[in-house]
Structure 1
């Protein structure tokens, strides 16, 4: 099956693709004519209607990763094109980043580094006082694979209380995980010391966290987003951080990516920004790359995809 790979993937995953698939065109710079493609592997490359129309033989789009907002799912479905992703490949990497950001923000590690670089006159300056995670409360917005892992890891490591807001998760499911389900977003925002977002970007979740929601959070709370940028209103978050409405925030995702070095949020001492780096570990990159290849192989063998989206 003629397969195009439109974004760089781990070298070992690329070798795996070459072993499993008949023809692989490596990166979009080498691809002049899309018409022969029968399968594609994409990370951030946009599979729009216009691009799909240039591939009359396309049968499967394999996403290297989880989020499929760079793929026109409705159009792919109408064209009878299968869309898959790799939902389990990067979940540990993203969950670990959430925990790293929580520790970084709560202990002001980035700010400490900046102050040390500028020069300090005494140890343990008052302005660097942070807070412990031990026995604090984490509020999970979204209880998918990543949210569940974050909850379990923080509960095990720091005895944190885990609250969940997810309209698609039952109270029984939360109870079985040792978590507490909340039916109202407002309530979980009011009670959580850390709020972590792990939901897809949809019409319902765009601007889910804006000025009103930020005003409900504790003054010493931290907001973390490793999902999609537009879930948080960045302008409102900037004003909240500048005015001390919340203790701090850490974002791995932004409305416009890559984030500009002139983004207003980067001027806030209580803000941490990372460049959509949640899944960027050697471990996850290998699993995502080989997982995307495996979905195409399953299609070739006419087996049900393990992670079919459309």
Structure 2
């Protein structure tokens, strides 16, 4: 096959870049604004996606044959439009599972033991903070998980078998729950859990799912964790719940607007832990996401069906067009 042009929305790990650069011409977008992405995509034959693409990207990218997600979330790609045009889309759903699971567990431990506050106060010379700040153990506490995909199941298994936590799980598409997980409704999870962790894809059904109604049903000593997509939570409602002490606290890795503006109300809420959409970004997961997504992209360009093809209806048209 002759050399094609592959567009990167963001830089990727050098190991993954070398794999791609050995086969095709690589162009990295200078920034991730919608207009810049549209402009760079005009000459692209394929796109490796690490940021939200504008919904009309394919109107500006007449040569694009495929789009591959450097990660899991497909809300970054207009999959339905790609399918209509015979453009295969793939992702790498297992590459960052362990990283996100460990990140969420770390947030649970942080909030349970208040490590961040203990560190801050101790640095200020307040040794007696150890007697004022309350903490609790995770064993015996209830964890409720919305979304029992790879990450949700991994978190459930770790917390149930490793820490002795009770686990409730909700997923309308899951055929079976992992051992030790009791199926529950969304309402039951919010009412009964000490921790509620969100791991659902962003869809029309999950957008703004967590609102005042659900937050009001949580236990006053409960915590909310969101490491999936910011729009799953109504941010204004969460701000109110935290400020009014409806719940004990929350930890967020994702937001409606990213990067999070420096003047956002979240910045001033003491019972909120925020991280910069970094749950998936360990050294190992970055290598895996990069190399696995490049491998999928190269397979598609070589007319070989990828391991994680998310729109199989596009494949026959793709093969018919480029397999001549």
TM-score of the pair, normalised by structure 1:
0.92
> In 2, distance between residues paired with 1:33 and 1:165?
41
Asked if 1 retains the 8 angstrom alpha-carbon contact of 2:71 and 2:93, the reply is yes
Residues 45, 264 of structure 1: alpha-carbon distance in 2 compared, 3 angstrom cutoff:
closer
- CA-to-partner distance for each residue in 1:79-111, whole Å, 9 max, x for gaps? 111111111111110111000111111111222
Q: Which residue, out of 73, 76, 83, partners 2:79? A: 73
Measured in 2, the distance between the counterparts of 1:85 and 1:145 equals 14
What is the aligned residue count?
Answer: 303
Deviations 1:93-130 (A, max 9, x none): 0111000111111111222233234442624132x212
Distance change in 2, residues 1:179/1:289 (3 Å): same
31-40 or 185-194, which deviates more: 31-40
Flag structure 2 segments of 5+ consecutive residues without an equivalent.
Answer: 312-324
Task: Provide the rounded CA distance (Å) in 1 between the counterparts of 2:310 and 2:195.
Answer: 31
Q: In 2, Cα distance between the equivalents of 1:192 and 1:45?
A: 32
Aligned residue in 2 for 1:96: 102
Change (3 A) 1:251 1:285: same
Aligned to 1:131: 136
* Alignment pair present for 1:194 and 2:199: no
User: How far 1:44 moved relative to its partner?
Assistant: 0.5
RMSD: 1.9
Matching of residue 181 in structure 1 with residue 183 in structure 2:
yes
Q: For the residues of structure 2 that align with 1:154 and 1:235, how far apart are their CA atoms?
A: 30
Q: Which of the numbers 72, 81, 91 marks the counterpart of 1:85? A: 91
- Checking the alignment, whether the CA contact within 8 Å between 1:4 and 1:26 is kept in structure 2 is yes
Q: What residue is the counterpart of 1:22 in the other structure? A: 24
Aligned position for 2:314 = none
Mapped pair 1:241 → 2:242: yes
Which residue is equivalent to 1:38? Answer: 45
Q: How big is the shift at 1:248?
A: 1.1
Residue 150 of structure 2 corresponds to residue 150 of structure 1:
no
Q: Distance in 2 between matches of 1:222 and 1:291?
A: 34
SS at match of 2:26: strand
Partner of 1:9: 12
Aligned counterpart for 1:48 among listed residues 52, 55, 59: 55
**Correspondence for 2:279:** 278
Residue 265 of structure 1, CA deviation:
2.1
Q: Which of 55, 66, 74 pairs up with 1:60?
A: 66
Question: Does 296-305 or 62-71 show the bigger shift?
Answer: 296-305
Counterpart position of 2:322: none
CA distance in 1, matches of 2:169, 2:41: 44
Measured in 1, the distance between the counterparts of 2:130 and 2:188 equals 35
Q: How far, CA to CA, are the matches of 1:236 and 1:118 in structure 2?
A: 33
Structure 1 stretches of 4+ with a deviation exceeding 6 A read 29-32
Deviations 1:42-78 (A, max 9, x none): 10151531x3223222110011111121222222111
Q: Distance in 2 between matches of 1:60 and 1:252?
A: 29
SS of structure 2 residue aligned to 1:177: coil
Structure 1 gap ranges (5+): none
1:304, distance to aligned residue in structure 2 (A): 1.9
CA distance in 1, matches of 2:127, 2:159: 35
Are 1:300 and 2:301 matched, yes or no? yes
* Offset at residue 186 of structure 1 (A): 1.0
Give the equivalent residue in structure 2 for 1:208.
209
Deviations 1:182-221 (A, max 9, x none): 1x21111111111100001111111111111111111111
